[in-house]
Amino acid sequence: MSAPEKALVEKAREGDTHALTTLLERVQPQLYRFSLRMCRHKEDAEDVLQESMLALSRSVSEFRGTSTVSTWLFTVARRFCMKKRGKSARTPGAVEHTELLQEERLSTEVQRGENPELNAQDRELSRDLEEAIRSLAPKYREVFLLRDGEGLTAKEVAEVLGISVAAVKSRLHRARGELRTALRGASDSRKNGCPDMVLMLSQYLEGELTSDVCSQMEEHVEACSPCKDECDDLKGLLRVCKESSCEVPLDVQRKVRASLKKALAQA
């Protein structure tokens, strides 16, 4: 979260309702994107967003800065995602959406077309990546989304999930590997006795490799085209995941705004 947003948190803690409203409107797209990717149901994501925003408005005075603002935000949103996911799984006849509505879908071709810097290949990768993300088991999906989608540190992700940093990194490596395979297929590099370069690159990104191992990895990648392709594949999907945008539907914004106004008036 940026310095201006942190300043808004401080003012909101002191009872400034304008600062609180401004803060929540700013973080709304992040929370909706995370909820939509985690819940995989459009209606559930909308409910999670509204419930999270209301919970955040009630708990802002209790935020003491012992954790980061991002940790606070996503801990609340994740809790509601888990409740909604459990409820949906128990609901008879509940159907998981395989396609979200075009105007509300993450990283749609229309949204990507609004940004001339992103080419057709990126748009296709973005669509395929969203499908692959939804296929991940929840414990891998949430780690990947928080770390690579929302940019939290491994330590922050561990705080949100209530697990160790080592567990976060283990799940993250697994998620990245599964996504790369889902998008590009199994690699032939291992047939040549090559190391698992996707895992090594993932470990490198998390600062788990020694400088000597990093040097060896770089030398190998320069001399091995299949391994270079694997590394480029992972870098590409991580970049597209981070750049994915998500607009909160106007009708959802209006509902959330009305709920917040009512809650603040009652408070």
Same domain, 93 and 132: no
Q: What pLDDT sits at residue 96?
A: 44
Q: Indicate whether 114 belongs to any domain.
A: no
DSSP the chain: --HHHHHHHHHHHTT-HHHHHHHHHHHHHHHHHHHHHHH--HHHHHHHHHHHHHHHHHHGGG--SSS-HHHHHHHHHHHHHHHHHHHHHHSTT----SS--GGGSTT-HHHHHT-TTS-HHHHHHHHHHHHHHHHS-HHHHHHHIIIIIS---HHHHHHHHTS-HHHHHHHHHHHHHHHHHHHH---SGGGGT---HHHHHHHHHTT-S-HHHHHHHHHHHHH-HHHHHHHHHHHHHHHHHHH---PPPHHHHHHHHHHHHHHHHH-
Lowest-pLDDT range, 14-18, 110-114, 135-139? Answer: 110-114
Task: Choose from 21-35, 156-170, 246-260 the range with maximum mean pLDDT.
Answer: 156-170
Same domain, 84 and 133: no
Q: What pLDDT sits at residue 246?
A: 77
The count of domains in the chain is 2
255 C-beta neighbours (distance < 10 Å), count: 14
Same domain, 123 and 234: yes
Same domain, 130 and 197: yes
Nearest Cα neighbor of 243 from 157, 148, 109 is 148
Q: What pLDDT sits at residue 190?
A: 64
- pLDDT bracket for residue 85 (50, 70, 90): confident
pLDDT reading at 92 higher than 60: no
Question: Rg (Cα) of the chain, in Å, rounded?
Answer: 20
- Cα angle: 106, vertex 172, 147; to 5 degrees: 50
Nearest Cα neighbor of 171 from 205, 130, 139, 136 is 139
47 C-beta neighbours (distance < 10 Å), count: 19
* Residue percentage of the chain with pLDDT more than 90: 52
Lowest-pLDDT range, 53-67, 117-131, 151-165, 248-262? Answer: 117-131
Q: Indicate whether 82 belongs to any domain.
A: yes
Q: Indicate whether 138 belongs to any domain.
A: yes
Q: Indicate whether 206 belongs to any domain.
A: yes
Q: What pLDDT sits at residue 127?
A: 87
pLDDT reading at 221 higher than 70: yes
Phi-psi region of 71 (alpha: psi -120 to 50; beta: other; left: phi over 0): alpha
Same domain, 241 and 123: yes
pLDDT reading at 98 higher than 50: no
Same domain, 13 and 70: yes
Same domain, 15 and 60: yes
Same domain, 200 and 257: no
Average pLDDT for 221-236: 92
| pLDDT tens column, 115-164 | 555 567 777 888 899 899 999 999 999 999 999 999 999 999 999 999 99
Q: Indicate whether 174 belongs to any domain.
A: yes
Alpha helices in 150-224, H assignment, sequence order: 154-161, 165-184, 197-205, 211-223
Q: What pLDDT sits at residue 118?
A: 52
Q: What pLDDT sits at residue 245?
A: 75
Range(s) of the domain holding residue 261: 1-106+246-267
pTM: 0.84
Size (the chain), residues: 267
Q: Indicate whether 111 belongs to any domain.
A: no
Tokens found for residue 226? 């299949």
- pLDDT bracket for residue 191 (50, 70, 90): low
Same domain, 34 and 146: no
List the CATH number of the domain containing 44.
1.10.1740.10
Tokens found for residue 16? 């400034």
Same domain, 54 and 21: yes
Same domain, 155 and 214: yes
Amino acid at 52: S
Same domain, 74 and 144: no
Q: Over the chain, what is the mean pLDDT?
A: 84
